[in-house]
Amino acid sequence: MPETLPWSWYADPELLQREQERVFARSWQYAARADQVAEPGAYVTARAGQLPVVAVRGRDGELRAFVNVCRHRGSIVCEGEGRRETLQCPYHAWTYDLDGSLRAAPRADREPGFSTDGLGLVPVAVETWGPFVFVSPAPERSLPETLGDVPEQLAAGGVDVDALRFHHRSESTYDANWKLCAENYLECYHCAVAHPGFSRVIDVSPDAYALRRGVWTMSQAGDPRDAAGNRVARGQFHLVFPNTAINVMPGEPNLSIGPIVPLAAERTWRSLDYFFAPDADAGWVADFLELDEQVGREDAVLVERVQQGVRAGAIAHGQALPESEQLVVHFDRLLRESIGE
């Protein structure tokens, strides 16, 4: 029987720093919608793990991304999203062009030998897949390699990501380590017990609920208990390592996507951007969102309860079921290899 990760890993700030350096800094993560940075001067902020990032469309039409930290004294430069002619730090008004170069620093002319050369915003990699923007400080592989066959699985299931329209974003925080949130997402072993509403909609029995391991992806698929009139036949739930969740429910064309972001060793932030077909039935959308919010509330209780248990320190590790929890085992292996353990 495979062991879980050491339970001390879920409350260790030093390990979180290693994860930032060896996992998040080297991996692609969902950051924003492409429509948020479609026009020159448009910018949007995000995170790559704990690293603040800003993506911006240049006047030349090029999409770029940078560490969202001023080179002067370390202030966050941009917040939220919007449009600007330049990116100006609110602390001392150091001003950066849309290509990241330092354009002006107040009183620089009074400082002998001061030069703006080499003091631009630090670039990070940025790529798009359909309407989705991904960032990575120093990626070890391409975005298509990271996504694997997830785009093909979505398309085969009747989801055309380019035809969907943004509906809204939801955000939530958890008093739990980010890995617990990811591992909870990666198994439906708990669904029949903890998610009665979801289990009434999706067949979560072990012979019907499919699990699939890619190199950097972990996928689940479930058939609806009532398939009448569904334009999307199956539910699909994918985690792109390390922290991008992609969800599709059977019914109207839909998709939600978002990152699982560590704020601290025992604090996690999640966001999901929801997309639907322009002609999706409004009643179905409302019912779906009500169910989705209920599942989210149930999961919050679960992961916070687990955090309390693993934090206690009385037990070194847990046991995983190699069949029912095979995606958790795969995730844990990828994490161990990435941090060199």
Element (H, E) at 1: none
**Residue 165 domain boundaries:** 148-339
Dihedral sign computed on CA atoms, order 199, 205, 206, 207: negative
Tell me, yes or no, whether 81 and 165 share the same domain.
no
List Cα–Cα distances, 188 to 65, 164, 205, 256, 328, in angstroms. Answer: 36, 27, 9, 18, 11
92, 127, 162 - which closes a domain: 127
- In this prediction the pTM is 0.97
Task: Write down the pLDDT at residue 1.
Answer: 87
Determine the Cα–Cα distance for residues 168 and 257; give it in Å rounded to an integer. 11
Dihedral sign computed on CA atoms, order 251, 35, 61, 139: negative
| Residue 15 within a domain | no
Determine the Cα–Cα distance for residues 201 and 235; give it in Å rounded to an integer. 10
Tell me, yes or no, whether 223 and 303 share the same domain.
yes
127, 157, 181 - which closes a domain: 127
Per-residue pLDDT of the chain (341 residues; tens, 9 = 90+): 899 999 999 999 999 999 999 999 999 999 999 999 999 999 999 999 999 999 999 999 999 999 999 999 999 999 999 999 999 999 999 999 999 999 999 999 999 999 999 999 999 999 999 999 999 999 999 999 999 999 999 999 999 999 999 999 999 999 999 999 999 999 999 999 999 999 999 999 999 999 999 999 999 999 999 999 999 999 999 999 999 999 999 999 999 999 999 999 999 999 999 999 999 999 999 999 999 999 999 999 999 999 999 999 999 999 999 999 999 999 999 999 999 98
Task: Write down the pLDDT at residue 323.
Answer: 97
| Residue 19 within a domain | no
Query: Can you tell me which residue has the tokens 């958790």?
Result: 328
Residues in CB range of 241: below 8 A, 6 or more apart? 27, 146, 216, 217, 218, 331, 334
Tell me, yes or no, whether 48 and 121 share the same domain.
yes
| Residue 173 within a domain | yes
| Residue 93 within a domain | yes
| Residue 299 within a domain | yes
Tell me, yes or no, whether 196 and 107 share the same domain.
no
Strands 29-33 and 123-129, sheet pairing? unpaired
DSSP 8-state assignment for residue 333 = H
Determine the Cα–Cα distance for residues 48 and 202; give it in Å rounded to an integer. 32
Tell me, yes or no, whether 161 and 247 share the same domain.
yes
Residue 57's domain is classified under what CATH number?
2.102.10.10
Nearest to 258 by CA among 329, 167, 158: 167
Task: Write down the pLDDT at residue 341.
Answer: 80
Tell me, yes or no, whether 303 and 180 share the same domain.
yes
Residue 298's domain is classified under what CATH number?
3.90.380.10
Note the Cα 186 to chain centre separation in Å. Answer: 14
Task: Write down the pLDDT at residue 69.
Answer: 98
73, 98, 127 - which closes a domain: 127
Query: Can you tell me which residue has the tokens 């448009």?
Result: 42
Tell me, yes or no, whether 176 and 306 share the same domain.
yes
Tell me, yes or no, whether 224 and 103 share the same domain.
no
Tell me, yes or no, whether 225 and 332 share the same domain.
yes
Nearest to 53 by CA among 77, 36, 37: 77
Q: Give the angle 119-122-123 at the CA atoms, nearest 5°.
A: 135
Tell me, yes or no, whether 330 and 221 share the same domain.
yes
Tell me, yes or no, whether 202 and 256 share the same domain.
yes
Dihedral sign computed on CA atoms, order 183, 212, 160, 54: positive
| Residue 207 within a domain | yes
Tell me, yes or no, whether 235 and 271 share the same domain.
yes
| Number of domains within the chain | 2
Determine the Cα–Cα distance for residues 119 and 289; give it in Å rounded to an integer. 46
| Residue 71 within a domain | yes
| Residue 62 within a domain | yes
Per the CB < 8 A criterion, the answer to whether 88 and 175 are in contact is no
Q: Give the angle 289-290-291 at the CA atoms, nearest 5°.
A: 90
